[in-house]
Amino acid sequence: MRAKLLKPLFTSLILYLIAGIFKAIIIIAKANALHFPQLIHIGEKSLTLFFTLGTVILLRWVIADAPFSMLRRYTVAPLLKSIITFLLYFGAVLVLLNRLFGINLTPLLTTSAVLTGVLALSLQETLKNFFTGLWINTERIVAKGDWVKIADKEGEILEVTWNTTRLLTRKNDCVYIPNRILMEGHLENYTYPSPLHAAEVDIGASYFDPPTKVKNVLIDLAKDLPNVMIEPKPEVWITNYSDFSINYRLRAWVNDFRLVPYVKTEINSRIWYVFRRNNIEIPFPARVNYARQEKKHSETEIIMNSLKDIEFLSPINYDELRNIVFYSNFETFGVGEIIVKQGETGDTFYLIHSGSVDVLYKDSAGNEKPLATLKQGEFFGEMSLLAGEPRRATVIANEDTSCIVVNSKGFQNIFIKNPTLAESLSELLAKRSDELEKIKNLAVSEREKLEAEISLKKNIMNKIKKFFKVG
């Protein structure tokens, strides 16, 4: 690239050297004027020719080649180079016609001026497009790769020529727009001066749902989306109170305008899931019965039958299990939603009723790797449920997934009435603990393995008692 840029300089230097040779020939010939008059004439003509060409190439490099090599992003740069080159060579031709052939340029220039005026009048629209193309790049209005809206056409700039601006729309259609349209002010640039853009979604919630709760749920939703910026932070505000709902607007920021419709679609999709899990109603313009309904009998039985088959809950009797079911419910998660996040505190346990989830672990270096895929009947979060431990991994739904969510509140009265239950549960939790497997792998004898299991069991039991504040 650098060699190509410097090539005109070498060409200009060679032409100047040739001109210098002819200058030397002229000097020598003039010293012998009687013997070489024809040589002097040829030398002067050649000197003029090569010096003029060398100067044109040098000026072209200084004015066009060097500056525009730094403006490769600007699609009109080749056009400007061509214009400058034409003007320089046109001027050189006029100079050579006068110097080499003695042609009087005054009539020619007068005729050219008249012809130029006639052409300018007949090509007003074309010239307007042309000079707008120059203005676009001089002022950095748009450039290749920008996402813009011109008149009613939205797309990515592919090219700015002397006459038109070419867009590629989201539907993969190529649209040619006359440059004069841009000069008339029908332009929105979504990329320059900053690619940061807001994705806004409007949603209504019922009058029974506190605004603070709704706003917090929406902000948390936006924070979990992969293409949403951490800074600026997502925002939510109330737009108005309508007949049937309180209307909210969620604003999330993305760093690429092309992602805006995808982010808005993902937000709208996830709103259904998070509102359902948080008992926030999206009201319809019809009479709604807001009376609280007791948990359906069939749902209670499903939760009951599912929990009694879990091994670490086997020491719990029927009445105790019914108390736990009272504090349990179904929650549905959409594909890609984060169910729990590594390091966050929690006091709930999840049993997969339908669907599947991916379990991801982030190491100290910040590298995230998949650990497992859990399916129907499998569970996670037991240590958070019974010991209040931070989540050990991130769990993400890889399809629409329904979980039975058990809250630790259901165990509070059970442990108070039956303190020995903590010991039974801790023993079962210790057996399925990953930590126990690591300790056993390091142990040498069976005695060491047994001691490690007893120690871990005691540690878990102490955590349970501390978490539930039982003796």
Task: Assess if residue 424 is contained within a domain.
Answer: yes
Could you give the CA distance from residue 75 to residue 65 in angstroms, rounded to a whole number?
A: 15
Both 174 and 207 in a single domain?
no
Range with lowest mean pLDDT among 18-27, 95-104, 232-241: 95-104
Range with lowest mean pLDDT among 94-103, 119-128, 350-359, 421-430: 119-128
Could you give the CA distance from residue 364 to residue 358 in angstroms, rounded to a whole number?
A: 20
Among 73, 92, 122, the domain-final residue is 122
Name 246's Cβ contacts closer than 8 Å, sequence gap at least 6: 204, 205, 206, 207, 209, 211, 214, 238
Exposure of 126 by Cβ count < 10 A (0-12 exposed, 13-18 middle, 19+ buried)? Answer: middle
Both 349 and 270 in a single domain?
no
Band (pLDDT 50/70/90 cuts) for residue 432 is low
For the record, the structure tokens of 86 come out as 């034409």
Instruction: Give the per-residue pLDDT at 206.
Output: 93
Both 117 and 18 in a single domain?
yes
Q: What is the mean pLDDT of residues 52-56?
A: 84
| φ/ψ of residue 128, rounded to 5 | -60, -45
Is residue 426 helix, strand or coil? helix
Is residue 115 helix, strand or coil? helix
Q: Is the pLDDT confidence value at 137 over 70?
A: no
Domain count, the chain: 4
Stated pTM of the model: 0.65
> What is the residue range of 29's domain?
2-122
Range with lowest mean pLDDT among 118-127, 192-201, 218-227, 254-263: 118-127
Could you give the CA distance from residue 30 to residue 92 in angstroms, rounded to a whole number?
A: 27
Could you give the CA distance from residue 114 to residue 431 in angstroms, rounded to a whole number?
A: 99
| Comparison of pLDDT for 369 and 32, the residue scoring more | 369
Instruction: Give the per-residue pLDDT at 356.
Output: 95
pLDDT tens digit sequence for 351-360? 999 999 999 9
Contact present, 124 and 69 (Cβ < 8 Å): no
pLDDT tens digit sequence for 374-397? 999 999 988 888 888 899 899 999
Both 411 and 320 in a single domain?
yes
Whether the ω angle into residue 390 lies within 30 degrees of 0, i.e. cis, is no
Instruction: Give the per-residue pLDDT at 452.
Output: 62
Contact present, 120 and 148 (Cβ < 8 Å): no
Both 166 and 309 in a single domain?
no
Range with lowest mean pLDDT among 37-46, 77-86, 457-466: 77-86
Task: Assess if residue 15 is contained within a domain.
Answer: yes
Please give the DSSP secondary-structure letter assigned to residue 204. E
Q: In the predicted model, what is the mean pLDDT of the chain?
A: 80
Could you give the CA distance from residue 165 to residue 172 in angstroms, rounded to a whole number?
A: 16
Among 277, 311, 329, the domain-final residue is 277
Q: How far apart are the first and last CA of the chain?
A: 78
Task: Round the CA-based radius of gyration of the chain to a whole number and report it.
Answer: 39
Q: Is the pLDDT confidence value at 108 over 50?
A: yes
Could you give the CA distance from residue 279 to residue 283 in angstroms, rounded to a whole number?
A: 12
Both 135 and 247 in a single domain?
no
Q: Is the pLDDT confidence value at 132 over 90?
A: no
Q: Is the pLDDT confidence value at 225 over 90?
A: yes
Band (pLDDT 50/70/90 cuts) for residue 426 is confident
The three-point CA angle 30-36-38 to 5° equals 105
H helices, E strands: number in the chain: 16, 16
Name 120's Cβ contacts closer than 8 Å, sequence gap at least 6: 127
Exposure of 300 by Cβ count < 10 A (0-12 exposed, 13-18 middle, 19+ buried)? Answer: middle
CA distances from 333 to 4, 221, 339, 392, 402 (A): 58, 12, 7, 20, 6
For the record, the structure tokens of 75 come out as 């699609």
Residue with tokens 């009723």: 353
Q: Is the pLDDT confidence value at 71 over 50?
A: yes
Q: What is the mean pLDDT of residues 180-192?
A: 80
Name 470's Cβ contacts closer than 8 Å, sequence gap at least 6: 415, 416, 419, 422
Instruction: Give the per-residue pLDDT at 440.
Output: 47
Instruction: Give the per-residue pLDDT at 138.
Output: 59
Neighbour-count burial for 39-63, b at 16+ CB within 10 Å, e otherwise: bbeebbebbbbbbbbbbbbbbbbeb
Instruction: Give the per-residue pLDDT at 221.
Output: 95
Instruction: Give the per-residue pLDDT at 114.
Output: 52
Q: Is the pLDDT confidence value at 436 over 50?
A: no
For the record, the structure tokens of 156 come out as 């990515």
Both 381 and 439 in a single domain?
yes
Band (pLDDT 50/70/90 cuts) for residue 121 is low
Both 137 and 271 in a single domain?
no
Both 149 and 111 in a single domain?
no
| Comparison of pLDDT for 266 and 77, the residue scoring more | 266
Q: Is the pLDDT confidence value at 125 over 60?
A: no
Task: Assess if residue 287 is contained within a domain.
Answer: no
